[in-house]
Amino acid sequence: MSCPSPTHFAVISPNPNLKPHEVSQIAKTPFMSFPSSHTSHLPLQSPRNACFFLCNHMNKQEVTQNGNGLKFVRGKKLLRDLCTWGIGGPCNYFLQVFNQTQLVSAIRYCLEHSIQFIIIGKGSNCLFDDLGFGGCVILNRIEFLERIESGIYRVGSGFQFNRLGVQCSNEGFTGLEFAGGIPGTVGGATFMNAGANGQETADAIDSIEIVTTEGRLQTLKRSDLDFGYRSSPFQNMEDLAAIVAVTFQLNHCESARRRQQEYLERRRKSQPVGERSAGSVFRNPSNLGVSAAELIEKAGLKSFRVGGAMVSDIHANFFINSGGSTSQDMLELINLVKEKVNQKFGVQLKEEVLYVDPHCSSVNPNNDK
Ligand SMILES: Cc1cc2nc3c(=O)[nH]c(=O)nc-3n(C[C@H](O)[C@H](O)[C@H](O)COP(=O)(O)OP(=O)(O)OC[C@H]3O[C@@H](n4cnc5c(N)ncnc54)[C@H](O)[C@@H]3O)c2cc1C
């Protein structure tokens, strides 16, 4: 059986020859870049067979506990329950972390046992595969918020980004008005440099605390980092394990609250709120003066569907799981839309959503107990 190529989004290559420290460099948070080819197709194992393989591998134990009492759920957690698209099979290991100590402990455990891992927030920018994920999914629940001084907020990376946007605006500070309505976490928004309405996350940041793959804590100044449109240095940072906390520096502004409410209202009118989506699937092409949504709409693709995956009839850059979409439906829809837009306008759209490659089983199966 052949299906749309996940290598478009490829993240983590399971290389059995890697040593733990090398694994750590690929086992961290995935960022998937999309090659320019949009037509290549890669055969995948049939989902049933592959799922059988993964589940067999997983169900040795239901829970694995590390030395610090952290409980890793084995083979049971469905990724579809961890993302806004509602797509994805089981992951081999799953755990939630509520503070930095737990996060570091989880990362160390994964490294010691050569288990590849990803850290996720709300999964609102991720496409998981029906086959699941062969490594460990760490769900970030580090949710504190500290008011350091007027307009300066130090926030846990698992804190809800939309809540932060509403809260800061209500308190009379500008910079994060756009965040109301973005259903991610502060960590995910920083990693993606999320933005809207002419604002972006990086513009409001003062510093970022990270954990490296050696388990060291580092504080990075915003001024030393290069961010771009939906891009951050973390997407290519070799020794990043996770973003732990972000400090935002915001300016006082009387109209912030009103502006935040206007942005949210605009969003409600122009986006398929309440549907299962991952926000914009494609980045807007640079320097063309036309958005990805306009190109898709002009190509006549609103409401176009593959199985349960559908181009929204409200916002053409939002693809929705209209019920029972598989990851392959969504991948195929993404590829078809790219192809048709390219044929019609000669524009090569680039994905903003990230695909998580399922084939990253433990590097050393003997350690996988
Ligand atoms: C309805 C809807 C509207 C949206 N609107 C917008 C919008 O206006 N603008 C916009 O930019 N995006 C938008 N998005 C996309 C998405 O919400 C953002 O990209 C968001 O910032 C992702 O956050 P998350 O916590 O869900 O990240 P996830 O999807 O969980 O993860 C995304 C990536 O970040 C990495 N990551 C997450 N947390 C951490 C961490 N603590 N440390 C290191 N890496 C981490 C993950 O490994 C992954 O690679 C929208 C999505 C939806 C569903």
- For residue 29, the ligand 1 atom closest to its alpha carbon is 47
pLDDT value at residue 340: 98
The reply to whether ligand 1 has any atom less than 6 angstroms from the CB of 308 is: no
Main-chain phi, psi angles of 336, to 5 degrees: -65, -40
Burial of 342 (0-12, 13-18, 19+ CB in 10 A): middle
Q: Can you tell me the distance from the alpha carbon of 133 to that of 145, in angstroms, rounded to the nearest whole number?
A: 31
pLDDT value at residue 214: 86
Beta carbons of 282 and 317 less than 8 angstroms apart: yes
For strands 71-74 and 63-65, give the pairing: antiparallel
pLDDT value at residue 9: 42
pLDDT value at residue 61: 62
Beta bridge partners of 47: none
- The CATH number that domain 145-257 falls under is 3.30.465.10
Task: Write down the residue that tokens 């949009």 correspond to.
Answer: 38
The reply to whether ligand 1 has any atom less than 6 angstroms from the CB of 232 is: no
Q: Can you tell me the distance from the alpha carbon of 230 to that of 320, in angstroms, rounded to the nearest whole number?
A: 21
Cα-Cα end-to-end distance for the chain: 32
Q: Can you tell me the distance from the alpha carbon of 132 to that of 368, in angstroms, rounded to the nearest whole number?
A: 17
The CATH architecture annotation of domain 2-142+358-367 reads 2-Layer Sandwich (3.30)
pLDDT value at residue 174: 98
Q: Can you tell me the distance from the alpha carbon of 37 to that of 349, in angstroms, rounded to the nearest whole number?
A: 11
For a mutational test of ligand 1's pocket, the pick from 84, 191, 284, i.e. the residue with the most ligand atoms closer than 8 A to its C-beta, is: 191
**345 alpha carbon to ligand 1 midpoint, in Å?**
29
Q: Can you tell me the distance from the alpha carbon of 365 to that of 369, in angstroms, rounded to the nearest whole number?
A: 8
Q: Which helix (H) or strand (E) holds 162?
A: helix 161-170
For a mutational test of ligand 1's pocket, the pick from 80, 87, 124, i.e. the residue with the most ligand atoms closer than 8 A to its C-beta, is: 124
- For residue 118, the ligand 1 atom closest to its alpha carbon is 47
pLDDT value at residue 106: 95
pLDDT value at residue 235: 95
For a mutational test of ligand 1's pocket, the pick from 94, 125, 177, 218, i.e. the residue with the most ligand atoms closer than 8 A to its C-beta, is: 125
Reading the block at residue 42, the tokens are 């890669």
The reply to whether ligand 1 has any atom less than 6 angstroms from the CB of 120 is: yes
The reply to whether ligand 1 has any atom less than 6 angstroms from the CB of 103 is: no
Reading the block at residue 191, the tokens are 């990693």
Beta bridge partners of 160: 185
One fold for both 2-142+358-367 and 145-257?
A: no
Beta carbons of 132 and 79 less than 8 angstroms apart: yes
Q: Can you tell me the distance from the alpha carbon of 62 to that of 72, in angstroms, rounded to the nearest whole number?
A: 8
Reading the block at residue 198, the tokens are 């002419």
Please identify, in words, the CATH class of the domain defined by 280-345: alpha beta
Beta carbons of 240 and 234 less than 8 angstroms apart: yes
pLDDT value at residue 56: 40
Give the domain ranges of the chain. Answer: 2-142+358-367, 145-257, 280-345
pTM: 0.86
The reply to whether ligand 1 has any atom less than 6 angstroms from the CB of 86 is: no
Look at residues 360, 340, 361, 321 and name the one whose alpha carbon lies nearest to residue 127.
Answer: 321
Nearest CA to ligand 1 atom 27: 188
The reply to whether ligand 1 has any atom less than 6 angstroms from the CB of 312 is: no
Look at residues 365, 170, 167, 355 and name the one whose alpha carbon lies nearest to residue 257.
Answer: 170
- Dihedral sign for Cα 198, 201, 204, 206, please: negative
Nearest CA to ligand 1 atom 12: 194
The reply to whether ligand 1 has any atom less than 6 angstroms from the CB of 279 is: yes
Task: Write down the residue that tokens 């804190």 correspond to.
Answer: 159
The reply to whether ligand 1 has any atom less than 6 angstroms from the CB of 191 is: yes
**139 alpha carbon to ligand 1 midpoint, in Å?**
13
Reading the block at residue 243, the tokens are 């973003």
pLDDT tens-place values along the chain, 369 residues long: 333 433 344 233 232 333 333 333 333 433 333 323 333 232 222 222 233 334 344 445 688 888 788 989 999 999 999 999 999 999 999 999 999 999 999 999 999 999 999 999 999 999 999 999 999 999 999 999 999 999 999 999 999 999 999 999 999 999 999 999 999 999 999 999 999 999 999 999 999 999 999 889 999 999 999 999 999 999 999 999 999 999 999 999 999 999 999 999 999 999 999 999 999 999 999 988 999 999 999 999 999 999 999 999 999 999 999 999 999 999 999 999 999 999 999 999 999 999 999 986 333 333 333
